[in-house]
Amino acid sequence: MPSNEVSPFFNTPPIANGVNASGPKDTAALITLSGSDANGQSLTFSIASQPANGYLGSITVVDGSSATVIYAPSFGFNGVGTFTYVVNDGYDDSEAVTVTIDVGDPTAVAPASPKVWHHTTVSASPGTPVTITLQAWDVELDSLNWVIVNTVGGTAEFALGTSNVTNSLGYSTMDVIFIPDAGFAGAGHVIFYVDDGNNASLYYNVARVNIAVGGGSGQTSTIVSAPALSVPGTAALFFGMLGLVLVFLVRNRSRSQT
């Protein structure tokens, strides 16, 4: 072959690796995805099919052959959850492979802290943004990283200028703006968790805010529902008192205010 001719390139499709994982009930798990490529190409990852009994966060690339994704099972679900994914080497997709998660595995333990709060249903007007104050508690009083895993019925973004404030009892709040999709009316939600940077278990306590779009004026103030967690000492008294007042505030904001 003359030296000025380019050798033909024959690509070998990449291979994605199946995953078996486990996690506690009502707890998000960090799943590691991986693959390989015979031609040494860097891989990209994409979800081929969503879980039937849960939700997936955004894929985070680790390196050219691995990535992570948060899996949050449906609340109350106990059993085997699955989803599939593929990898691509820039030329071809791999065959889709299955990720299997044993939800409710008794050997998988969620961290005791930080915790996040479940809330009762919030009302929102169709097409009108609503601001929701999310709540969490961390025994070590760490600054928390707030992560939205999944939304239904709209989009969610953290409010501009919202500070992540942790008080002397470890109580933190963060405002998120939920914007209903155009024409959407029905049951929406926002699923979120927090990370204090000290989590070695790869499990995260997760919570959901239910949003009834079209179910009211959107000017609702909602009382915090009873959290399914144990808060020791003075903090328990503090949060018990919070249950008697309106501490979960939901208020309309026009787009110009965000």
pLDDT digits (tens, 9 = 90+) for 116-139: 877 678 889 999 999 998 888 888
Share of the chain above pLDDT 90, in %: 50
Q: Are residues 40 and 124 in the same domain?
A: no
Q: Which two tokens stand for residue 218?
A: 């959107």
Q: Are residues 121 and 201 in the same domain?
A: yes
pLDDT of residue 170: 80
Give a yes or no: residue 9 inside a domain.
Answer: no
pLDDT of residue 160: 76
Q: What is the pLDDT of residues 205-221, one digit of tens each?
A: 899 999 999 854 444 43
pLDDT of residue 108: 80
Q: Are residues 81 and 148 in the same domain?
A: no
Q: Are residues 188 and 99 in the same domain?
A: no
- Nearest CA to 135 out of 246, 57, 216, 258 is that of 246
Number of domains in the chain: 2
Out of 103, 126, 145, pick the residue that ends a domain.
103
Q: Are residues 146 and 209 in the same domain?
A: yes
Cβ–Cβ < 8 Å for 155, 191? no
Question: Domain residues for 67?
Answer: 15-103
Q: Between residues 79 and 200, which one has the greater pLDDT?
A: 79
Q: Are residues 124 and 195 in the same domain?
A: yes
pLDDT of residue 159: 86
Reply yes or no on whether the pLDDT at 233 is more than 60.
Answer: no
Q: How far apart are the first and last CA of the chain?
A: 64
How crowded is residue 164: how many other Cβ atoms within 10 Å of its Cβ? 14
> The CATH number of the domain where 145 resides is what?
2.60.40.2020
Q: Which two tokens stand for residue 162?
A: 């919202």
pLDDT of residue 7: 64
Cβ–Cβ < 8 Å for 153, 180? yes
pLDDT of residue 92: 97
Q: Are residues 204 and 119 in the same domain?
A: yes
**Beta-strand runs (E) in 181-220:** 186-195, 203-213
**Average confidence score pLDDT of the chain:** 80
pLDDT of residue 242: 39
Give a yes or no: residue 220 inside a domain.
Answer: no
Q: State the average pLDDT over residues 25-38.
A: 95
Cα distance between residue 206 and residue 226, in whole Å? 15
Q: What is the dihedral of CA 178, 183, 189, 192, to 10 degrees?
A: -40
Q: State the average pLDDT over residues 39-63.
A: 96
Share of the chain above pLDDT 70, in %: 76
Q: Is 235 exposed, middle or buried (0-12, 13-18, 19+ CB in 10 A)?
A: middle
Q: Are residues 58 and 129 in the same domain?
A: no
Give a yes or no: residue 230 inside a domain.
Answer: no
Q: What is the pLDDT of residues 69-113, one digit of tens each?
A: 999 999 899 999 999 999 999 999 999 999 999 999 888 877 777
Reply yes or no on whether the pLDDT at 245 is more than 90.
Answer: no
Cα distance between residue 60 and residue 203, in whole Å? 16
How crowded is residue 65: how many other Cβ atoms within 10 Å of its Cβ? 19
> The CATH number of the domain where 25 resides is what?
2.60.40.10
Q: Are residues 43 and 119 in the same domain?
A: no
